A and B are shown apart, each in its own frame.
Chain A
Amino acid sequence: MTLNRRDFLKWTGAGVAAAFAGCATLPGATRARVVVVGAGFGGATCAKYLRQWDPGLDVTLIEPNDKFVSCPISNWVIGGLRSMDDITHGYDKLPRHGIRMVRDTVVAIDTDKRVVTTRGGANIGYDRLVLAPGIEILTDSVRGFTEAEAAGKVVHAWKAGAQTASLRRQLEAMPDGGTFVMSVPAAPYRCPPGPYERVCMVAHYFKQAKPRSKIILLDGNPDIVSKKGLFTDAWNTLYPGMVDYRPNNAPIAVDGGRMVVTTEFDDVKGDVLNVVPRQRAGEVCALAGARNDSAGNWCTVDLATFESTSVPNVHVIGDSVGSSLPKSGHMATNHAKVCAAAIVELLAGRAPDPVPVVANTCYSATSGDTAGHVAHVYRFEAGKGYVAQPEGGATAKGDAKNFGFADSWSKNIWADMLS
């Protein structure tokens, strides 16, 4: 992206203001600068709450896309319950909070000079940097995936958007009696119950429109990772004989020409292929040196502030964080709120809350009008991280009440992050 004249004036204006502020000697006269990278559940929420809790902060939110497409509820689009429009939302209300939105991609981060550089050529200084890029999908981890994806023969649809719509179209075009093959990587991956909800949504569609069709789920895990009771009950009672669940079946290769997914045990042929490769923290975390766990896949942070354990003044929130907390959109907004509160305190020279509390609430639809949930409160304890509180857990059977609350949840979380 190239800067237009208005952006140029804005940048120069900001630069001049920063230069003058830098000369000021009175404490409190300088507007502390926070740059947030990524306007998903984590980033948008963090930017908004930073400004809400300290209107004196200079907050810049950098995001390459002009619209937000929600991963939660995207399985409902695949099942035909919702449209792409229902899960697509603008960023137009965020500037009202005094957030400066920059539509661009970060290409470099100088963590010594504390400057972020964008593809468009802007250099944006920060006192605190928040990285919320979501996941990077390791398409090379499944042989042949990249070629088959380019040929339109396989999708992951694990970032909501064009591939979500494509998967829906492919299912609509599939003849009755066809086979949908889905494969899931070993944990950790984004949205633990997501694959099993997707199977329910496709089964819901097949039951109505293509009742002779089959679903094969190749799971890289030894068992259903989340809400096992809920999904097993739905497959047995709502879609008997339709779902062929195969644990310990990580995909090795995909062949778009033969429409085959290869696992350690089998070549599995399908009419529609949905292969979800392994994932790691978004690339921008590596630019900052924050993708720092032993395998170089996820980001290790101080979970009370979400500051990187290896790069000072850089915070990471959302799916990129390596921890025992589930990688969900809801969880990302909770990271965002704890992180925003900590940054406000740190920039004011105060100690952040040493014992924050977060919660996760995650609904999965099992049919067109039933859903179940998993919910936990997690309390931070020094030396232990977040400890799940004992009353947390999941529903054993989907019902209409949970479906209604799932719908309500989506409206509230989208409003909380974007309006």
Chain B
Amino acid sequence: MNKRVPLIGAALAGLALSGLAAAADVHIRTIAATCMTCHGPGGKSQGRNPNLAGQNKDFFVQAMKDFRSGEKPGTIMKRHASGYTDAEIEALGEYFASLK
């Protein structure tokens, strides 16, 4: 019985922390899903748009920044890459890298 109180406390603290993390996850997971409209379900493309699933994080982040600056030529990607924050691009890179 003694052990229950700290366990509940720990669980509550954990909930509060994971709640914040979860909100960030939902935000990024939803943006990632909107990328998949063009880049294929699960980030696996059925056409000439590149795969996002399993993409190297550093490569992804650099590519988005280069699209944004215009250094990397493209058709629509400057318009898209410019719409997200640096933090979102980092988190998206991590998310896509984690997809198998």
Which residue numbers of A lie inside 8 Å of B, CB to CB?
49, 53, 330, 333-334, 337-338, 341, 344-345, 350-353, 355-359, 361, 373, 375-379, 389-393, 395, 401-402, 404-405, 407-409, 411-413, 415-416, 419
- B41 to nearest A CB, angstroms? 5
Contact partner, A408, options B19, B23, B49, B83, Cβ 8 Å? B49
Do residues B83 and A392 form an inter-chain contact, with CB atoms below 8 A?
yes
A–B complex contacts, Cβ < 8 Å, 21 sampled: A338-B30, A351-B23, A356-B27, A357-B83, A359-B34, A359-B83, A361-B76, A375-B76, A376-B79, A377-B79, A391-B83, A395-B75, A404-B48, A405-B49, A408-B38, A411-B47, A412-B38, A412-B40, A412-B47, A416-B36, A416-B41
User: CB < 8 Å: which of B23, B27, B29, B48 contacts A405?
Assistant: B48
Q: Does B37 contact A (CB under 8 A)?
A: yes
The answer on a CB contact under 8 Å between B37 and A413 is yes
A159 to chain B, nearest CB (A): 21
With contact pairs A377-B82, A391-B83 given, residues A358 and B75 touching in the complex (Cβ less than 8 Å): no
List residues of chain B with CB under 8 Å of any chain A CB: 19, 22-23, 26-27, 29-31, 33-34, 36-41, 45-49, 68, 75-76, 78-80, 82-84, 88
Which of B19, B41, B47, B75 is in CB contact (< 8 Å) with A350? B19
Task: Given contacts A392-B83, A409-B49, list 7 more A-B pairs with CB under 8 A.
Answer: A337-B33, A350-B19, A377-B83, A412-B39, A412-B45, A413-B38, A419-B41
A375 & B80 in contact (Cβ 8 Å cutoff): yes
A373-B30 in contact (CB<8A): no
Residues of chain B contacted by A413 (CB below 8 angstroms) = 37-38
User: Are the C-beta atoms of B34 and A334 separated by less than 8 Å?
Assistant: yes
Complex contact B37–A334 (CB within 8 A): yes
**CB proximity of A352 to chain B, nearest CB, Å:** 8
Evaluate contact between B23 and A353: CB separation under 8 angstroms: yes
Chain B residue numbers with a CB within 8 Å of A379 are 83
Q: Which of B23, B26, B78, B79 has the most CB of A within 10 A?
A: B79
Answer whether A357 and B37 are a contact pair too, CB < 8 Å, given A401-B75, A405-B75.
Answer: no
Contact partners of A377 in chain B: CB under 8 A: 79-80, 82-84
How far in angstroms is the closest Cβ of chain B from A317?
13
Given the complex of chains A and B, what is the CA–CA distance between A49 and B41 in angstroms?
A: 10
Could you say which residues of chain A place their CB within 8 Å of the CB of B37? 330, 333-334, 359, 361, 409, 412-413, 416
